[in-house]
Amino acid sequence: MIQFQGDDFFARLIAAQPKLSKKMAQLAAFISENYVKAAFMTTREIAAASGVSLTTVVRFPSLLGYADFDQLRESIQKLVKHDLTGVERLRTLPRHEDRSTIALLRRLVDHDIESLHALAQSFSEQPFERFCQMLVEANHVIIMGFRYIGPLVSYFGYSLQKIRPDVETWTQSDSVLYDRIRLMKATDVLVVIAFVPYPADLVALVRFAHQQQIHIVAITDSPLSPILPCANEALFVKPGWLDFVGSLAAPAALIHAIVTQVAANREDEARERLHALMDAAVQSDMYDRAATAYQLFRNHMFVWEQDEEDEQAEPQHTP
């Protein structure tokens, strides 16, 4: 069963749904459908636009666990920042003459750091372990994600192939994929990665796979994601949306953790495959030996120097 984590407005709204009166449900529907606009409206404006009383608007936040409407509005504004279209995000950037390159880089890095912190704070161990265990036990793993998610899917597939066999990636929509889903077995697992805006062709494929009773695990960004009802297990992470180019730093970190956990669960096989890949790389002169050896040496020296500094920093105990 999927569990919602974190301070997501829609997650709170779904949890509070059974407790809402008719007027509260009417207000909730208005905010859900118009949250980009509602994020910057006053309580009186929302009351008038939704057709409910001001008292209903004022009482609404407490049902969702917010202290007041300002806190609820702040939560919605975070969603708006995430869900703006590329054109709208581009309009929010400072004009060229008002920005510097280093300031832009720092802004982007700081935003990625915030996304990584949000992932760490909302991380839930049990769904993560169930997700990884399904990848451990699967006979065949297919990872699917389209458009700007494509590089993330390729990274996931490349990393997972290093530690287990029978991994496949789908990064482009094709009608042939319906045939391939139809031929999947009960021991196979389909991993779907989808963030807003959700590609319609991917959603259709996921729904078809669900109809075929395929085991599906999802990496997505919201409890309202259209692929969520089809998933046996799901992990939530939000890409960084500071401008018209989405950052995949946080999703990539989550995938790194998944692959590491799967490797730990398949330790013997993972070690054997990594040794085989290493031998193949050496025998085929796959990498520039001099540069690679030097870089590995520098990395080793850095770790060794750090360990030595830590040992010197430790207090000396005399008998």
pLDDT band at 293 (very low <50, low <70, confident <90, very high): low
The residue written with tokens 């031929």 in the block is 183
Q: What is the pLDDT of residue 191?
A: 98
Sheet with strand 233-236: strands edge to edge: 167-170, 140-144, 188-194, 215-220, 233-236
Higher pLDDT, 22 or 100: 22
Percent of the chain scoring above 90 in pLDDT: 38
For the four alpha carbons of 250, 254, 260 and 264, in that order, the dihedral sign comes to: positive
pLDDT of 146 strictly over 80: yes
pLDDT of 29 strictly over 80: yes
Which architecture does CATH list for 122-271? Answer: 3-Layer(aba) Sandwich (3.40)
Q: What is the pLDDT of residue 190?
A: 98
Mean pLDDT of 80-98: 50
Mean pLDDT of 196-208: 92
Amino acid sitting at position 311: E
Q: What is the pLDDT of residue 82?
A: 54
The beta strands (E) that lie in the chain are given as 140-144, 167-170, 188-194, 215-220, 233-236
Q: Look up the CATH number of domain 9-83.
A: 1.10.10.10
Give 40-70 pLDDT, tens digit per residue. Answer: 788 999 999 999 999 999 999 998 888 888 8
pLDDT of 137 strictly over 70: yes
* Joined tokens for residue 260: 């590491």
Mean pLDDT of 86-93: 46
Ordered by start, the domain boundaries in the chain are 9-83, 122-271
pLDDT of 171 strictly over 90: yes
Mean pLDDT of 120-140: 90
The residue written with tokens 């608007």 in the block is 57
Alpha carbons 233 and 212: distance in angstroms, whole number: 17
Q: What is the pLDDT of residue 310?
A: 58
SS3 18: helix
Model's pTM, two decimal places? 0.65
